[in-house]
Amino acid sequence: MIAGRWVGTEDWRRAQLAANLEHVHERIAAACQAAGRPAGSVTLTAVTKTYPASDVLLLAGLGVTDVGENKDQEASGKAAEVSAAGVRLRWHFVGQVQRNKAKSISAYADVVESVDSLRLVAALDRAAAAVRGEPLEVLIQVSLDGDPARGGVAGDDLWRVSDAVASSDGLRLGGLMAVAPLGQEPGQAFARLAELAGQLVATHPGATTVSAGMSGDLEEAVRHGATHVRIGTSLLGMRNSLR
């Protein structure tokens, strides 16, 4: 500590986030290099759930452009605060979407990453058409272990759901999202995701996004072609709850 200089909590938090962010960028750059992929081919989405809007604003000030949230009530409040501060970010909704929240989410989200049923596609399409001037980007969440309890589409439902998104006027099919299954080697799961992403883009050439990789497995995800990694803990710190 520099003598005579009081370091405020916000300065301290900014310094902490800056150090964490630098480390995450280094990890992403190293993973890109190891995979022979160009630096900058992976976008960082900072998953800010459970952390306050003040952290989102600090991250924005440090150059973060994309943030992720998983609960509508929390996300809508934060998005409003950030927007009131005059800061424009891309908001990714990464949690389970309750259909009665589709309208609220469509109003502030730029991307909904967790679409996994035809009923949800219909609800989001209607909501997006009602509250947005442009289509809402949607990623299909893929279940890599076939356990529907953890969210995501399994098997041929992927093609049914992605075709439904592609033919919805209110939605734009961006690509795929997945969370590595618990207790499995993530590389195998992400390799499977890459295969599905290749099949998807063959029929939907605009659907190039592959959102995969979290704090514990971003390297494996980048190795298998992730275009977006979703990082919470490594940037913001441990969360109190298991969200």
Ligand X SMILES: *Cc1c(COP(=O)(O)O)cnc(C)c1O
Looking at the Cβ atoms of 150 and 192, the one nearer to ligand X is 150
Looking at the Cβ atoms of 120 and 133, the one nearer to ligand X is 120
CB of 213 to ligand X, least distance (A): 8
Q: Is the dihedral of CA 53, 47, 64, 171 positive or negative?
A: negative
Residue nearest to ligand X (CB): 232
> Residues 42 to 71: which contact ligand X by CB under 6 A?
47, 49, 70
Are 48 and 67 in contact by the 8 Å Cβ rule? The answer is yes
CB of 236 to ligand X, least distance (A): 8
List the one residue from 89, 165, 176, 179 that touches ligand X (CB under 6 A): 179
Cβ-based neighbour number of residue 9 at 10 Å? 8
Looking at the Cβ atoms of 48 and 162, the one nearer to ligand X is 48
Site string for ligand X, 203-222 (x = CB under 6 A): -----------xxx------
- CB-neighbour burial class of residue 55 (10 A; exposed 0-12, middle 13-18, buried 19+): buried
CB of 86 to ligand X, least distance (A): 27
Rounded-to-integer distance, Cα 131 and Cα 175, Å: 23
CB of 155 to ligand X, least distance (A): 21
Residues in Cβ contact with 83 at an 8 Å cutoff, skipping those fewer than 6 apart = 108
Instruction: Give the residue from 234, 229, 228 showing the smallest Cα distance to 215.
Output: 234
Torsion of CA 57, 241, 182, 236, to 10 degrees: 30
Contact between 233 and ligand X per CB under 6 A: yes
Looking at the Cβ atoms of 123 and 231, the one nearer to ligand X is 231
Contact between 232 and ligand X per CB under 6 A: yes
Looking at the Cβ atoms of 92 and 223, the one nearer to ligand X is 92
Rounded-to-integer distance, Cα 96 and Cα 70, Å: 7
Backbone angles phi, psi at 48, to 5 degrees: -100, 10
Site string for ligand X, 68-87 (x = CB under 6 A): --x-----------------
For 177, the enclosing helix (H) or strand (E) is strand 171-177
Q: Which residues bind ligand X (CB under 6 A)?
A: 47, 49, 70, 94, 179, 214-216, 230-234
